[in-house]
Amino acid sequence: MKLKFFGTGTSQGVPVIGCHCEVCDSANPKDKRFRSSALVTTETGKKILIDCGPDFRMQMLTNKEEQIDAVLLTHEHNDHVIGLDDLRPLIFRNGKNIDLYCQKRVGDEIKLRFPYAFADVRYPSAPAFNLHEIEKPFALLDTEVIPVEVSHGKISIFGYKLKDLVYITDASFISDGEKEKLKNLDYLILNCIRKTGLHPAHFILPQVLELFEELKPKKMFLTHISHHLGLHDEMELELPENVHLAYDGLELLL
Average pLDDT over residues 247-251: 98
Is residue 93 predicted with pLDDT exceeding 90? yes
Average pLDDT over residues 122-142: 94
pLDDT tens across 180-206, in order? Answer: 999 999 999 999 999 999 999 999 999
- Find out whether 222 and 246 touch, Cβ atoms under 8 Å: yes
Average pLDDT over residues 215-226: 98
Closest CA to 108 of 129, 124, 127: 129
Taking 3-state DSSP, the helix, strand and coil percentages for the chain, each rounded to the nearest 5, stand at 25, 30, 45
CATH among 3.40.50.1820, 2.40.160.20, 3.20.190.10, 3.60.15.10 for 2-253 = 3.60.15.10
Cβ neighbours of 110 (radius 10 Å): 20
SS (H, E, C) 6-23: EECECCCCECCCCCCCCC
Average pLDDT, the chain: 97
Phi, psi of 206 (to 5 degrees): -60, -40
**Integer angstrom CA distances of residue 84 from 7, 68, 127:** 15, 11, 8
- Find out whether 4 and 68 touch, Cβ atoms under 8 Å: no
Length of the chain: 254
Q: Quick one: pLDDT at residue 122? A: 83
pLDDT tens across 104-119, in order? Answer: 999 999 999 999 999 9
By percentage, how much of the chain surpasses pLDDT 70?
A: 100
| Chain centre to alpha carbon of residue 230 | 20
Query: Sorting pLDDT into bands at 50, 70 and 90, what band is 45?
Result: very high
In sign, the C-alpha dihedral spanning 173, 177, 183, 187 is: negative
**Which of 5-14, 26-35, 117-126 is predicted least confidently?**
117-126
Q: Quick one: pLDDT at residue 10? A: 97
Q: Report the alpha-carbon distance of residue 214 to residue 216 in Å, rounded.
A: 6
Q: Quick one: pLDDT at residue 193? A: 98
Q: Quick one: pLDDT at residue 123? A: 87
Average pLDDT over residues 207-234: 98
Q: Quick one: pLDDT at residue 67? A: 97
By percentage, how much of the chain surpasses pLDDT 90?
A: 98
Query: Sorting pLDDT into bands at 50, 70 and 90, what band is 41?
Result: very high
| Chain centre to alpha carbon of residue 57 | 15
pLDDT tens across 62-84, in order? Answer: 999 999 999 999 999 999 999 99
Is residue 121 predicted with pLDDT exceeding 90? no
- Cβ contacts of 40 within 8 Å, gap of 6 or more: 1, 2, 3, 4, 47, 48, 49, 50, 143, 162
Q: Quick one: pLDDT at residue 38? A: 98
